[in-house]
Amino acid sequence: MKKQMKFVVAILVTAALSSAITFVITKQGAVSVSGDEKFSKLMAAYTKVKDEYYEKTDDQKLVDGAIQGMIASLDDPYSTYMDQEEAEGFNNTISSSFEGIGAQVEEKDGQILIVAPIKGSPAEKAGLKPHDHILKVNGKSTKGMSVNKAVSLIRGKKGTDVKLHLNRQGVGNVDVTITRDTIPLETVYAKLTKDKIGEIQITSFAETTSKELDKAIDDLEKKGAKGFVIDLRDNPGGIMTEAIEMSNDFIDKGKVIMQVEEKGKKQVYKAEKERKVHQPAVVLVNGGSASAAEIMAAALHQSSGIQIVGEKTFGKGTVQNAQNYNDGSSVKLTIAKWLTPDGSWIHKKGIEPQVKAALPSYAKLPYLSPKKSYELNDNGDEVKAAQKMFQALGYKAKANGEYDQAFQSIVKSFQTDNDLKADGILTGDTTTVLMTKIQDKLKNNDTQMKKAIEVLKKEMK
């Protein structure tokens, strides 16, 4: 689009939705609009601002503002206008190659929420959890903020820090400082247990995920895998076509994978090739399993009888696509809703597992930064979280949020047990060892994975 025509970009974008409008540019450079009265009103407003506003205006900002307002009027958190920087970040996320903290963020009911951290990312290491409510980013309130604006504040160059002020249900408000890094490219992680069960964790649905999954299945089958646990926990979704391709690995040819409904018209997507996996399988999900992850979970259950284990999923049942413009900006728009094979719409409802399983309560505790110091006479939610961690490790701490002499003695005992300086202050190496032991305990006591394997073994008999 020519630069001298920037001032009609908003009209041209809108006109793509209707052909009942024409533009006439006079010799004096004025623009007249004939056709639909609604578009004449829009241009009249633009002209008035351009000609009469008491300060100098910026054509591009006016155009961007018009588009942003049009998209915002849809009241849909998944439809958004992205400027050049935001569009680049979105495209990088889809290709699973970018720098930041590595967490999917969404706006829901006016709140900026963590959908799920990415495996191996700074966000996961910092202990971010699904449904964490981001109250502030580097001290700036997210109230009334668009999700794209929040993401632009959170994302940044490798090695830089971002401070998040969070609210976590059942824990309270916590501050987390995260050092940004390069986000891992891999989206599929697989291992074979001693019982010949293939555990396949899928962290997102990016451009190469279906190929990664096929390779993981082939490698596990060569090693003698007798069954599979498909771990979709904390998987925020991604590319719909990848979910369809991957679901086909577990579903017989001709069976329905999903349906897409657009303005009342339904399109049914079926398995187009012979299934790849014939061994028993189960799917593992939690509240961070969203979008494409929910497509796959529902497809495997409803069209292949595969049981779902874990917790209710996030509940995102809409489909978006992105329209890129010559200046690098983009509009991401909800174009349809997707339905499960039986025609159910899980939007804002989620998918209930057939077999429910939760992680231990300490799995929801926040990350404590080794850079912060907690000592005698301190108090608050973070002290209370630390006390619960010590409880989980077998120490007789009271979770009252008070750093009293009794808790100081417990910290000293922990330090002595781990060859640390026994000064009774929770900071530095003491905090690092505490967090590492909690993570190791959770890894060794993954009650959801244990339940999934238990269910799978019954299927394997």
Rg (CA), the chain: 26
Question: Where are the domains positioned within the chain?
Answer: 3-72, 98-182, 188-320+336-359, 362-444
pLDDT of 211: 96
Concatenated DSSP letters of 105-130: EEEETTEEEEEEEPTTSHHHHTT--T
In this structure, the number of other CB atoms found within 10 A of the CB of residue 197 comes to: 24
The per-residue pLDDT for range 8-33, each reduced to its tens digit, is: 322 222 223 333 334 343 434 344 44
Give per-residue pLDDT as tens, 224-280: 999 999 999 999 898 999 999 999 999 999 999 999 999 889 999 999 999 999 999
Q: What is the band of 146 on the pLDDT scale with cuts at 50, 70, 90?
A: confident
DSSP-assigned states of every residue in 398-455: --SSB--HHHHHHHHHHHHHTT---SS-B-HHHHHHHHHHHHHHHHHT-HHHHHHHHH
What is the model's pTM?
A: 0.74
Give the active site residues.
291, 316, 320
Domain over 98-182 is classified CATH 2.30.42.10 = yes
So what's the pLDDT on residue 115?
81
Q: What is the pLDDT of residue 36?
A: 62
Tokens of 52: 């009469």
Q: Return the CATH architecture of domain 188-320+336-359.
A: Alpha-Beta Complex (3.90)
Mean pLDDT, residues 307-330 taken together = 91
Q: How many residues does the chain have?
A: 461
Please tell us whether the domain made up of 362-444 is placed in CATH 1.10.101.10. yes
Quote the percentage of the chain above a pLDDT of 70: 89
Q: Are 381 and 364 in contact (CB under 8 A)?
A: no
Q: Give the whole-angstrom CA distance, residue 6 versus residue 60.
A: 7
pLDDT surpasses 90 at 217: yes
pLDDT in tens, 101-142: 888 787 777 788 888 787 778 888 888 888 889 999 999 999
CA–CA distance, 161 with 156 (Å, rounded to integer): 8
Is 198 within 8 Å of 146 (Cβ atoms)? no
State how beta strands 281-285 and 227-231 pair. parallel
Give the pLDDT confidence of 176-209 residue by residue, as tens digits: 999 998 876 788 999 999 999 999 999 989 889 9
**Comparing C-alpha atoms, which of 129, 195, 191 is closest to residue 164?**
129
* pLDDT of 89: 64
Instruction: Supply 133's token pair.
Output: 């409510």
Q: Tokens in use for 384?
A: 């209370």
Provide the mean pLDDT of the chain.
87
What are the tokens at 451? Answer: 């339940």
Alpha carbon separation from 63 to 13, 60, 73, 201 (Å, rounded): 10, 5, 16, 43
User: Tokens at residue 202, please?
Assistant: 């899928």
Nearest to 292 by CA among 189, 210, 354, 217: 210
